[in-house]
Structure 1
Amino acid sequence: MIQSCFINKFFLLFLSIVCVFPLFAQQSQHEFSLSHTIDSILQTQVQERHIPGAVVLIKKDGKILYQHAYGYARLFNNQHQLLKRPEKMELNTLFDLASLTKVVGTTTAIMYLADKHLLSVDDPVCKYVPDFNTPDKKNITIRHLLTHTSGIIEWYPLFYKAHNRQQVFSLIAKLPLRYPIGAQRKYSDLGFTILGEIIQNITGMPFEQFEEEKIFKPLNMLHTTYNPLQKKLFTHFAATSFGNPYEKRMVYDSTLGFTQKDIDPTSWNGWRNYVLSGEVNDGNAWYANGGVSGAAGLFSTAADIQQLVDMLLNNGTVNGQSFISASTLQTFFTKDAFQNGLGWMMDAHDSFMKNAPEGSFGHTGFTGTSIVVIPQYHASIILLINRQHMGLLPNGTYFDVTPIRKQIFQAVMQYCNQ
């Protein structure tokens, strides 16, 4: 009888292995196919010298499906000569997030303050920034700034007229509006720069300090910071461009549509002339804001960004504790008339997440960074590329990484739909 019982248990164990193994094999095959596809995409781009390097992190249902570092964090010296020993890209390499600062830092901070009832997204900006209490700007709300519908000019070389953050805020308030308030979405760095001042005025502390204490540390984002060179903890960065050649074009070249009638391009010549590594690439953030801006300036790693994404995917909870309430998340991730959320892009027509399922959100950064979050599949894609380090192309622009983002997004969507 004992022998019969043993045989029966052995048979049941064998049967369970036989039945379950194909499921594991199928899952492994799907994951292998995904990693192979992404590996092929990014290896090819590095080998063909379209990009210096990249870090990718893909997660679904709380499990990391694939993460890898490709190529190099730095290839060239200050004379744009190939280094004898290029610096390899690592998973923990810090990237200049560029406009991901708007969502990782600024939007999350505004979200936190709204959740604590310290502001309402429909408050007028002039409630916190008195310089906006003018006939043309008094009706601009925080929501307008978050959705890029404030009418504020898209870009202006603030560093020609402002040399510290207070001068920057005052200058933006004095600039005439470019568009009617609320009439259309015109992506504006200046609007998010003002959000930084709102955070400071509400909290009574520099907004980078507020973000570190109330956002980054609680989310265990310990490698996310402004001005990382000032902190000895951080030493490995993904290099960006040699100075700011494209922004210089924006000032000098009228064909780009950014030149200003009140700016003499030759009246300022403080352009950097070395490879930027650990210094924010964005000219307004660096030259006029001391490296700290609500629009740009954050450095981070893929793993740190994932901590924020996990919180958002887990309905605002961290380790089972509420960090942001579900009702606040709903406010920020409800589409407006232009099909976007507050701070975050949600329009499925955006090429980097084209045809994404309803409720998906993401953002991109000029340096080559991007985030896509797909709540329907509890999945996310973090792709960090240091594209600017290759230098400007002959046509005066940087290599377009949108097709890379799109290919990787499509590969992940294919995996999710299997």
Structure 2
Amino acid sequence: MPMHLDGARTPVDGSGPAAAVRAVLAVDGGPPGAVVASAGGRGGAGTDWCADGFADLGGDGRPAVPMDLSVRTDLGSVTKVVGTTTALMVLVDRGEVGLDDRAGRYLPALATTPVGAARISDLLQHRAGLWEWWPLYLEDGPPLSTAAGLPLRYRSGAARHYSDLGFMVLGAVVAAVAGCPLGEAVARLVTGPLGLTTTTAGAPAPGGPVAASSAGDVVEREMVATGRPYPVTPTAAAPLGGWRRHVLVGEVNDGNAFHAWGARPGTGVTAGHAGLFSTVSDLVAVGAAWLDSLCGDGPLGRDTVRAFFTAGPDPTQALGLRVWPGGPAGPVLGHTGFPGVAVGVVPRLHRTVVLVTNRLHGRPTPVPTEQLWQRALAAVLPGRDGPDGPVAEDTARNGVRRCG
């Protein structure tokens, strides 16, 4: 399906957010709670949403908290697009960063490393040959120089290999060009200009419920112990201060962002790949800003957004953004996040779709975010089939469903 980037508005006739929430919660072993929003029109006007289940099941002195539109959630890798990619859109639009430039131009200390030789566009398209993941908090030295010191895992420029490390480098580029720490740069370049009010670095904004996450670093402890899915060979067995074992509520789940980069409550710190918290409303606002700009009436340059929305050598990957087939609705561009979050825009419909779940909370074997996202998209977009077929049953969780 060719990309359709003229911002044409087409009515949407999918089943909507309520059906999407039912489909997500019906998955065997699915999340305790979910929110789905679908918004069209300038500025994300006309938002339909539905929430059901619990943001926090409670325990250890915490009360159970119903899932709601205002829930604060750890974005995980959605940080890559809300923070780093959108900041780069601004810097590219200003002419302060070139997509064909090498990272070493902006990070002179890395100029002689393979990381420094990578083009900004290759890093955005995950084609720089870097490791997908490495527990940098189990190594000595600053995380950026440690990442740059690792040998390439793949031949640079040969194929797409999704990489957290590449977005750590891109975050460092943003910080270097902005002349301030990345959290502050994102505030100046993204959250302020786009009018985001609940997108914060290192900890959730006050004033609303917070989605609970996993039992500490349980997932990454297993990844390190088994070498699966990535055959990492760190030099230490535990991070400074030890592994987290308590239920994470208001703490960044990603170990590199938390332990290595220091994205912790009270610091205002984020990494380029993870470390932001946000809400459904702010994610809708980000999608609306991209789409409005694509139509020539948003806060970003139209040509810049078109460039970032165009798939590269791999048809599933644009500049910083995943590309999913959308059926008759056309392609969906956006990103998923490990805690169970996703945001996507449908240019043909001028529509933003947002999914927030807490899939890691209280689930020994969490359902992959991608599976939940595909179900949500299938329910919201017309003519798009989900991975598991239609879901008709009502799966209200203890009568706490709210829709608006």
Task: Verify same fold: TM over 0.5.
Answer: yes
The C-alpha deviation readout for 1:156-194, integer Å capped at 9, x for no partner, is: 10001157xxx1111111111111110011100011011
Deviation at 1:60, TM superposition (A): 2.8
The unaligned stretches of length 5 or more in structure 1 are 1-26
CA contact (8 A) 2:25 2:32 kept: no
Deviation at 1:151, TM superposition (A): 0.7
Aligned to 1:249: 222
Aligned to 2:40: 60
The C-alpha deviation readout for 1:38-83, integer Å capped at 9, x for no partner, is: 35324545xx7621111111113454352122111111434xxxx7
Structure-2 change in CA distance of 1:68 and 1:198 (3 Å): same
Aligned to 2:378: 410
Corresponding residue to 2:256 among 284, 306, 314: 284
Superposed, 1:257-276 pairs within 5 Å as 257-265=229-237, 270-276=242-248
CA contact (8 A) 1:228 1:234 kept: no
The C-alpha deviation readout for 1:93-126, integer Å capped at 9, x for no partner, is: 1110100000011000011001011110111111
Question: Which letter maps to 1:60?
Answer: G
Larger mean CA deviation between 127-136 and 280-289 belongs to: 127-136
Matched, 1:176 2:151: yes
Using the alignment, how far apart are the partners of 1:179 and 1:310 within structure 2? 36
Deviation at 1:281, TM superposition (A): 0.2
Structure-2 change in CA distance of 1:266 and 1:106 (3 Å): closer
Aligned to 1:5: none
The C-alpha deviation readout for 1:121-149, integer Å capped at 9, x for no partner, is: 11111111123322644531111111111
Corresponding residue to 2:321 among 337, 344, 364: 344
Matched, 1:193 2:168: yes
Aligned to 1:304: 282
Aligned to 1:16: none
Aligned to 2:54: 72
Structure-2 change in CA distance of 1:116 and 1:53 (3 Å): same
Using the alignment, how far apart are the partners of 2:105 and 2:180 within structure 1? 17
Structure-2 change in CA distance of 1:177 and 1:43 (3 Å): closer
Question: Which letter maps to 1:323?
Answer: P
Structure-2 change in CA distance of 1:275 and 1:262 (3 Å): closer
Aligned to 2:30: 50
Matched, 1:335 2:315: no
SS in structure 1 at match of 2:171: helix
Superposed, 1:346-365 pairs within 5 Å as 346-348=323-325, 355=327, 357-365=329-337
Aligned to 1:400: 368
Count of residue pairs the alignment pairs up: 366
CA contact (8 A) 2:214 2:361 kept: yes
Structure-2 change in CA distance of 1:36 and 1:285 (3 Å): closer
Matched, 1:218 2:193: yes
Deviation at 1:242, TM superposition (A): 0.8
Superposed, 1:1-16 pairs within 5 Å as none
Structure-2 change in CA distance of 1:356 and 1:243 (3 Å): farther
SS in structure 2 at match of 1:101: helix
Larger mean CA deviation between 123-132 and 91-100 belongs to: 123-132
Aligned to 1:378: 350
Aligned to 1:90: 68
- Structure number with the higher helix fraction is 1
Using the alignment, how far apart are the partners of 2:272 and 2:356 within structure 1? 20
The unaligned stretches of length 5 or more in structure 2 are 1-10, 264-269, 386-404
The C-alpha deviation readout for 1:214-242, integer Å capped at 9, x for no partner, is: 2112211110011226x6x3552101001
CA contact (8 A) 1:55 1:383 kept: yes
CA contact (8 A) 1:42 1:70 kept: no
Deviation at 1:411, TM superposition (A): 2.3
SS in structure 1 at match of 2:364: coil
Using the alignment, how far apart are the partners of 1:35 and 1:119 within structure 2? 38
CA contact (8 A) 1:311 1:317 kept: no
Aligned to 2:77: 99
Deviation at 1:257, TM superposition (A): 3.5
CA contact (8 A) 1:112 1:324 kept: yes
Aligned to 1:323: 299
Structure-2 change in CA distance of 1:224 and 1:65 (3 Å): closer
Higher RCO (Cα < 8 Å, 6 or more apart): 2
Deviation at 1:211, TM superposition (A): 1.1
SS in structure 1 at match of 2:334: strand
Using the alignment, how far apart are the partners of 1:218 and 1:138 within structure 2? 30
Question: Which letter maps to 2:209?
Answer: H
CA contact (8 A) 1:113 1:119 kept: yes
Superposed, 1:121-136 pairs within 5 Å as 121-134=99-112, 136=114
Structure-2 change in CA distance of 1:34 and 1:125 (3 Å): closer
Using the alignment, how far apart are the partners of 2:328 and 2:104 within structure 1? 36
CA contact (8 A) 2:328 2:384 kept: no
Question: Which letter maps to 2:110?
Answer: F
Using the alignment, how far apart are the partners of 1:252 and 1:268 within structure 2? 17
The percentage of counterpart residues that share the same residue type is: 32
